[in-house]
Structure 1
Amino acid sequence: MKFTDGFWHARRGVAIHYAREVDRITAAEGELHAIAPTRVVRDRGDTLNTPVLTTSVSAPMENVIRVRHTHHRGAGEPFRFEVDEVEGAGRATVVDGAGTLTSGKLSARLAVGKSWELDFRAAGRTLTRSGGKSAAWVDVSPDAAVDHGATQLEREGRTSYVFDQLDLGVGELVYGLGERFGPVVKNGQTVDIWNEDGGTSSEQAYKNVPFYLTNAGYGVFVNDSGHVSYEVGSEAVERVQFSVPGETLEYFVIYGPDPKTILERYTALTGRPARVPAWSYGLWLSTSFTTDYDEETVASFVDGMAERDIPLSLFHFDCFWMREFTWCDFEWDERVFPDPDGMLARLHDRGLRVCVWINPYIAQQSPLFDEGMAAGYLVRNRDGSVWQWDRWQAGMALVDFTNPDATAWYQDKLRRLVRQGVDAFKTDFGERIPTDVQYFDGSDPERMHNYYTHLYNQAVHEVLASERGADDAVLFARSATAGGQQFPVHWGGDNTASYVSMAESLRGGLSLACSGFGYWSHDIGGFEMTPDAGVFKRWVAFGLFSSHSRLHGSGSYRVPWMFGEDESDPTGAVAVTRKFARLKNRLAPYLVATGEEAHRRGTPMMRPMLLEFPDDLTVAHLDRQYMLGADLLVAPVFSAEGHVDVYLPAGEWAGLLTGERVHGGGWVREQHDFDSLPVYLRPGAVVPLSRHEDRPDADHLDGLTLLVHAGPEPDWSRTVEVAGPDGTAVPFTVAREDGVLVARSTQDSSWSVQVVGGETVAATGGRAEVSA
């Protein structure tokens, strides 16, 4: 949100009261407290008729510093995200009028004097600072020449905002702010943190997260669940500005110094991604959205995949498993599914899991509408009536998840489905949340707009965790905000069946990865329209090298034989789907270990190149390739012709599909047919491969192969862990010893070592040797 007219002036109707100086600083109980008048105080008369910002600086955990600016404290504290805190994480001192708050290697400094300057320092340098004309309280008149942003609220009378600006250094780049489909580098953009159902081809986003990280060693999290507006090197090109409506602003500066560590500390603050089950990494197949289907259709799809030797992990029933106009009533449409119990059992007998579509909206035709209205379980208008509209479902209302009884009521409907045989839920929607309403617990509706989806996905995840076990709970969620990473998996929303949309989907996933989310998926083939065979096949290869993989569309099915079926053609849709689905199942031990890293450290499975190569300047803007875990570089093909440019950082890389060794440190132009794409092992990679191509949740230790691309160092070694059937991690170490690669493990079942493009040697007595 822009308040200024160039550098010198405020916009019409806008009064900006900047913190001009620090009048006094005190230290108490590990916090700094400062008073900042909004004019320079030359004599006592200047203290009159002057707004003042009160600033507190504290540390919720090591290497994280909280800043809170308050204008009028009587307005009360806005609703904030829940964060974990460690007592005694900061030490505050005031010496000769200068206050310093130190937490780990990070410090913040304020000094009494005729200027405002809040410096953040680590490793002997200034990371960023809030300097002159940075922190401010803003008074905005009703006719001001400003755009109040994505909230589209009708504001009565004058409106106040609080903002701060943090400096951007030369060459400093900004990433994150949720799943955004434009350039992965956010410099020059205006970003509104406001969840919308806008598709993947607009500036709107389903997953808005008020957190960004930079390539300068730190991240910033604005702790406000409402509308946070960012000007990222846009309004003030030397700074990032973030503003919130109201009387107070709270943000955290998080030190790294590297991007992975920034994410580790951010997710320690807001919550780590839950662990997901191994079966979820396999291929998911959907009925698609508005297609006609019944149990016979479902069976034909499942049979068709089996007949073509394409492994499936899960079958998903989209909206019309329920009767039209009744979404959601959580009842199977008996006209097309007369025996849901038997059908679910038959699908389970075939080794499949089952997912069903839900949302948090209750249509007026649903029997649950009257039930929820009578019990007070639905969000209400300000006059006490139930809020309704006709968009999406006729007369739909919203479940009020701020009401514990309403949440339990909703969860009970889902528990019945889980006990019937449903294994997962696609938690669709959650973005179209009104602001002219009232909630059971009195929550501010503007700040509940983004947070509503958090409560929704949390409620559903709790059901699966309690009914199936914490390690077997998985969602397929569309909307989220800060902290939503705790309830995976998330997918990218409504894209279109084109190469351009395929690329924008990837940009959204990489942006979300920089926002603390560990897992991500997308609709293979595109949701809107029907893809041609080329788009479908290219997207299949990309989708099956994503953390999670689902075939889904809108008005047409996404089974591969709909896009041509010639068993003699290895580049046909069926053959391509078979190849990559089976390869992904072989990669399951590697994916499970990578997912464990997301769960324990907050490191995403699909990683922007920046996360693995933070010192390589070339990777800073790359958004058409990524690392899948630490060891695999993936570059999807975004053209029918198969041309693709890949950047390989320094070192010798090896093709996963070809075994070819390529020297990095520059760009490589490649040509790929539909059954291929650039996938490279980085130098020093050890990738565990399962022998089981038919499922991702087999015993990975049984017949395991360690695919090795050793580093060049004479004393190179690497240890990887592979989860056994009981979840216990078994370590395998590969090391170069006297020019020979020696692999060791305590594992006594059959396993082997393979050098990329070379020989495979079986282990004997927990040991294998292979030529380096």
Structure 2
Amino acid sequence: MVVFIFSCRSGGNWSTTYAPSPFYMTSKMRALYLEGYDYSIFDLTKPDRVQIQVHGSSVQGRILHGGSPTELITSYTESTGRPPALPRWITSGAVVGMQGGTDAVRRVWKQLQDHDVPVSAFWLQDWVGQRKTSIGSQLWWNWEVDDDHYAGWNDLVRDLRRRGVRTMTYCNPCLVPMDKKANARRHLFEETKKLGFLVRDAAGEPYMMPNTSFDVAMLDFTNPAARAWFKGEVLAVMARGGAAGWMADFGEGLPLDARLHSSGSGDGPVAAHNRYPELWARVNREFTDEWRSGEHRRADADDDGDDGDGELVFFVRAGFRESSRWAMLFWEGDQMVSWQANDGIKSSVVGLLTGGMSGFPLNHGDAGGYCTVDLPLLRYRRSEELLLRWMELSAFTVVFRTHEGNKPGSNCQFYSNDRTLAHFARCAKIYKAWEFYRIQLVEEAAEKGLPVARHLFLHYPEDQRVQKMTYQQFLVGTEMLVVPVLDKGKNTVTAYFPVSDGGLWKHIWTGDEFGGRRSRGIVGEGMSHGFEAEVEARIGFPAVFVRVGSTIGERFVRNLRDLKVL
């Protein structure tokens, strides 16, 4: 309870999720998903049955057929939708999460150049200006550039773009009154209130919802006019101002007693709650498609913020069954800056892998976590060790993006000292080294719905040891195996090598081979027939393996040498 009060609802626990999906898949290759948006409960605790409770007048769904988990995911996403292949610019280098204004960005950009860091974009979530609250540095939810905080915004965007670096921003489907911000040019809350575009309460007034330390109103995207307004008055303004992409935050919290434009057509509040994340993603996706085709642009617009052919990117955290039909990229939301399993670095891996098995194939997280608590009797502050290990983890996800957290001054940052900068450069180069394979995997995600980062179950479904894994290790595609360090003070990991396919795995730093009959430590529990080994994993040398004989693995190792990290 103390954590709840002081974090102002900014944390989570083992049972919370941003993106529930009414779908399951078993080790016996049985899979089912529900259609519609009714509230449902899946009981998977009994060994001989799955029980589903649906709060609605009817039930519709599909039983899927497939001989493997990958076939089932492909079948599932064929019905529910898959994301498009990402523009290559966002996976070409690190996405640098920064706050602090123009001078801070230019200072850090100079440091990154000095360390030869491959950078694809600066993600500047505080482009709208900062407000200080009880949980730290937060934003003014009014979706216009703050000319005082980011003086010379256009020059900054242009200077970065000339060096091949794009600028990304932030928005969400909520607005706040702006009477306390002196330099606001527009008051979007008041505009949309007059237009009737906000979610309403029982009295017909804007539904003001508590969000961390202030109240917000949500846009009613069940209203087509509200969707058109947001695309034209918010997203188009961002893109014309040079944004090549943005975090499309929130979307999961529509109140269950809200009154909506669609209420008159029989859309119940629970169904609307589950459908809203899809609507939110769809608004953003429609805009990116329209922008690519030339809509929303002015003849005098400065397009330096995108790559010249309209390839914009947005990423979301909220989702439901068909979100991947509309969303381009997901991220796992706001983990604590901790080593915790329920809401820290370990939960980030759980979200990465379960998302991949639930139809969200392009997924990543905040390198370093987000939620910071810095009080005399309660402290969750990002340590240097945690940040270094989280960067190593993030270097093997589809997008490598940093975040300063809600209290930047309380957290260790990648720019804090020479060691953190050097480590960030090293991880960014490791990420760069498998860019060629990442391009293939992104295309495969768009074509088949298969995730970039994969739970081992997808390829070793009969191995009972694999079935029990949660966050311990994962595959990147089929050719790379990552065993991240997820505990404080550890410099070794226990790696497990399934051998059902008889393959060997090579340690990228030492060249040692594991698996098959050459390994020690055979495991013979039931259907587990792999090998485990204790492997050194000093900071800067995460335990990563490639398949012996794999052309992908050989090229990855060769690129590491060329980039001088091996």
Q: Structure 1 length as normaliser, TM-score?
A: 0.60
Matched, 1:283 2:123: no
| Equivalent residue in structure 1 for 2:65, among 245, 251, 255 | 255
| Equivalent residue in structure 2 for 1:478, among 317, 322, 325 | 317
Give the equivalent residue in structure 2 for 1:127: none
Structure 1 CA distance for aligned equivalents of residues 190 and 383 of structure 2:
45
State the SS of the aligned residue for 1:472: coil
Matched, 1:310 2:134: no
1:578-589 to 2 correspondences below 5 Å: 578-589=425-436
* Amino acid of the structure 2 residue aligned with 1:537: L
Give the equivalent residue in structure 2 for 1:450: 274
* Amino acid of the structure 1 residue aligned with 2:207: W
State the SS of the aligned residue for 1:560: coil
Structure 1 CA distance for aligned equivalents of residues 147 and 106 of structure 2:
17
| Worse-superposed segment, 515-524 or 332-341 | 332-341
Give the equivalent residue in structure 2 for 1:555: 407
Q: CA deviation at 1:386?
A: 2.3
State the SS of the aligned residue for 1:239: coil
Matched, 1:465 2:272: no
The answer to whether the Cα contact below 8 Å between 1:226 and 1:449 also exists between their aligned partners in 2 is no
Structure 2 CA distance for aligned equivalents of residues 603 and 536 of structure 1:
28
Q: CA deviation at 1:755?
A: 12
Q: CA deviation at 1:641?
A: 2.3
User: Cα deviation per residue 1:576-622 (whole Å; 9 max; x = unaligned)?
Assistant: 22122112112111000011110000011110001122233331122
Greater Rg over alpha carbons, structure: 1
The answer to whether the Cα contact below 8 Å between 1:326 and 1:364 also exists between their aligned partners in 2 is no
User: Cα deviation per residue 1:119-142 (whole Å; 9 max; x = unaligned)?
Assistant: xxxxxxxxxxxxxxxxxxxxxxxx
Give the equivalent residue in structure 2 for 1:675: 540
Give the equivalent residue in structure 2 for 1:602: 449
User: Cα deviation per residue 1:493-548 (whole Å; 9 max; x = unaligned)?
Assistant: 11122223211210121111110111111111121233222111111111111121
1:36-47 to 2 correspondences below 5 Å: none
Structure number with the higher helix fraction is 2
Give the equivalent residue in structure 2 for 1:342: 155
1:275-674 to 2 correspondences below 5 Å: 275-281=85-91, 282-287=93-98, 293-319=100-126, 321-322=128-129, 324=131, 327-365=140-178, 367-392=187-212, 394-412=214-232, 413-442=234-263, 443-468=267-292, 472-486=311-325, 487-500=327-340, 501-529=344-372, 530-552=381-403, 553-556=405-408, 559-562=413-416, 564-565=417-418, 572-623=419-470, 624-639=472-487, 640-650=489-499, 651-664=503-516, 665-674=530-539
Q: CA deviation at 1:464?
A: 2.0
1:118-137 to 2 correspondences below 5 Å: none
Structure 2 CA distance for aligned equivalents of residues 586 and 454 of structure 1:
34
Give the equivalent residue in structure 2 for 1:101: none
Matched, 1:273 2:83: yes
- C-alpha distance 555-707 of structure 1, shift in aligned 2 (>3 A): closer
Structure number with the higher strand fraction is 1
User: Cα deviation per residue 1:369-425 (whole Å; 9 max; x = unaligned)?
Assistant: 222122221122244332223434755211111111110100112112102210111
User: Cα deviation per residue 1:67-107 (whole Å; 9 max; x = unaligned)?
Assistant: xxxxxxxxxxxxxxxxxxxxxxxxxxxxxxxxxxxxxxxxx
1:150-299 to 2 correspondences below 5 Å: 199=11, 201-233=13-45, 236-281=46-91, 282-287=93-98, 293-299=100-106
Structure 2 CA distance for aligned equivalents of residues 387 and 352 of structure 1:
40
* Amino acid of the structure 1 residue aligned with 2:162: D
User: Cα deviation per residue 1:242-272 (whole Å; 9 max; x = unaligned)?
Assistant: 1121221222111112000100010010101
What is the number of residues matched between the two proteins?
Answer: 487
State the SS of the aligned residue for 2:51: strand
State the SS of the aligned residue for 1:432: coil
Structure 2 CA distance for aligned equivalents of residues 380 and 666 of structure 1:
58
- C-alpha distance 755-617 of structure 1, shift in aligned 2 (>3 A): farther
- C-alpha distance 577-395 of structure 1, shift in aligned 2 (>3 A): closer
* Amino acid of the structure 1 residue aligned with 2:88: A
The answer to whether the Cα contact below 8 Å between 1:653 and 1:680 also exists between their aligned partners in 2 is yes
- C-alpha distance 319-245 of structure 1, shift in aligned 2 (>3 A): farther
Q: CA deviation at 1:472?
A: 2.6
The answer to whether the Cα contact below 8 Å between 2:384 and 2:412 also exists between their aligned partners in 1 is no
Structure 1 CA distance for aligned equivalents of residues 63 and 11 of structure 2:
31
- C-alpha distance 214-681 of structure 1, shift in aligned 2 (>3 A): same
- C-alpha distance 323-666 of structure 1, shift in aligned 2 (>3 A): closer
Structure 2 CA distance for aligned equivalents of residues 615 and 756 of structure 1:
34
Q: Which runs of 5+ in 2 are unaligned?
A: 1-8, 132-137, 179-185, 294-308, 373-380, 517-529, 562-566
- C-alpha distance 255-482 of structure 1, shift in aligned 2 (>3 A): same
Structure 2 CA distance for aligned equivalents of residues 323 and 201 of structure 1:
27
State the SS of the aligned residue for 2:423: helix
Structure 2 CA distance for aligned equivalents of residues 755 and 475 of structure 1:
29
Q: Structure 2 length as normaliser, TM-score?
A: 0.81
Q: CA deviation at 1:429?
A: 1.1
Structure 1 CA distance for aligned equivalents of residues 201 and 395 of structure 2:
45
